[in-house]
Protein backbone atom coordinates (compact mmCIF):
# COMPACT_ATOMS: atom_id res chain seq x y z
CA UNK A 1 0.00 0.00 0.00
CA UNK A 2 1.23 3.45 -0.91
CA UNK A 3 0.67 6.07 1.80
CA UNK A 4 1.41 9.76 2.09
CA UNK A 5 1.93 10.82 5.70
CA UNK A 6 1.87 14.40 6.92
CA UNK A 7 2.43 15.56 10.48
CA UNK A 8 2.22 18.66 12.63
CA UNK A 9 4.10 18.12 15.89
CA UNK A 10 4.44 20.89 18.48
CA UNK A 11 7.61 19.77 20.29
CA UNK A 12 10.94 19.76 18.41
CA UNK A 13 12.26 16.61 20.11
CA UNK A 14 9.03 14.73 19.47
CA UNK A 15 8.95 16.00 15.86
CA UNK A 16 12.43 14.56 15.30
CA UNK A 17 11.36 11.27 16.87
CA UNK A 18 8.38 11.02 14.49
CA UNK A 19 10.62 11.81 11.51
CA UNK A 20 13.05 9.09 12.57
CA UNK A 21 10.23 6.57 12.93
CA UNK A 22 8.94 7.46 9.47
CA UNK A 23 12.42 7.19 7.94
CA UNK A 24 12.37 3.51 8.90
CA UNK A 25 9.24 2.97 6.79
CA UNK A 26 9.56 5.34 3.87
CA UNK A 27 11.09 8.43 2.41
CA UNK A 28 10.82 12.13 3.24
CA UNK A 29 9.45 14.11 0.31
CA UNK A 30 9.01 17.43 2.14
CA UNK A 31 9.88 18.63 5.62
CA UNK A 32 6.83 17.14 7.34
CA UNK A 33 5.66 14.80 4.58
CA UNK A 34 6.72 11.21 3.96
CA UNK A 35 5.71 8.54 1.48
CA UNK A 36 5.71 4.85 2.28
CA UNK A 37 5.11 1.77 0.20
CA UNK A 38 4.47 -0.87 2.86
CA UNK A 39 2.23 -3.82 3.56
CA UNK A 40 -0.70 -3.82 6.01
CA UNK A 41 1.31 -5.42 8.83
CA UNK A 42 4.01 -2.73 8.65
CA UNK A 43 1.36 -0.03 8.38
CA UNK A 44 -0.24 -1.19 11.64
CA UNK A 45 3.19 -1.35 13.27
CA UNK A 46 3.89 2.21 12.12
CA UNK A 47 0.55 3.48 13.45
CA UNK A 48 1.23 1.90 16.84
CA UNK A 49 4.69 3.47 17.09
CA UNK A 50 3.35 6.89 16.18
CA UNK A 51 0.44 6.65 18.63
CA UNK A 52 2.92 5.94 21.42
CA UNK A 53 5.17 8.85 20.41
CA UNK A 54 2.68 11.70 20.08
CA UNK A 55 0.29 13.59 22.32
CA UNK A 56 -3.06 13.31 20.54
CA UNK A 57 -4.27 16.51 22.27
CA UNK A 58 -1.44 18.59 20.71
CA UNK A 59 -0.10 16.78 17.67
CA UNK A 60 -1.54 15.42 14.45
CA UNK A 61 -0.44 12.82 11.96
CA UNK A 62 -2.50 12.24 8.82
CA UNK A 63 -2.30 9.12 6.66
CA UNK A 64 -3.42 9.29 3.02
CA UNK A 65 -3.53 5.79 1.49
CA UNK A 66 -3.45 5.92 -2.31
CA UNK A 67 -4.50 3.22 -4.73
CA UNK A 68 -2.29 2.43 -7.73
CA UNK A 69 -4.52 4.50 -10.03
CA UNK A 70 -4.35 7.51 -7.68
CA UNK A 71 -0.60 7.07 -7.28
CA UNK A 72 -0.21 7.39 -11.06
CA UNK A 73 -2.14 10.69 -10.98
CA UNK A 74 0.19 12.42 -8.52
CA UNK A 75 1.23 15.76 -9.98
CA UNK A 76 4.60 17.32 -9.16
CA UNK A 77 5.50 20.94 -9.82
CA UNK A 78 9.14 21.79 -9.27
CA UNK A 79 11.73 19.32 -8.03
CA UNK A 80 10.33 15.81 -8.15
CA UNK A 81 10.90 13.88 -4.95
CA UNK A 82 8.90 10.70 -5.16
CA UNK A 83 9.04 7.05 -4.30
CA UNK A 84 10.86 5.03 -6.92
CA UNK A 85 10.04 1.37 -7.24
CA UNK A 86 12.58 -0.85 -5.47
CA UNK A 87 14.62 2.09 -4.22
CA UNK A 88 14.56 0.62 -0.71
CA UNK A 89 13.08 -2.27 1.18
CA UNK A 90 11.61 -2.53 4.65
CA UNK A 91 12.04 -5.89 6.40
Q: Is the predicted pLDDT of residue 80 greater than 50, yes or no?
A: yes
Q: Is the predicted pLDDT of residue 85 greater than 80, yes or no?
A: no
- pLDDT above 90 as % of the chain: 70
Q: Is the predicted pLDDT of residue 25 greater than 90, yes or no?
A: yes
Distances in Å between the Cα of 76 and the Cα atoms of 10, 42, 53, 69, 71 are 28, 27, 31, 16, 12
The CATH architecture annotation of domain 2-72 reads 2-Layer Sandwich (3.30)
Average pLDDT, the chain: 87
List 2's β-bridge partners, or say none.
37, 66
What pLDDT, in 10s, does the model give residues 37-75?
A: 999 999 999 999 999 999 999 999 999 999 988 888 888
**Confidence (pLDDT) at 50:** 97
Amino acid sequence: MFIIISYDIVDDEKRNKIANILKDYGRRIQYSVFECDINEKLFQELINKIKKAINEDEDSVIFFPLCELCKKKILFIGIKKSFEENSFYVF
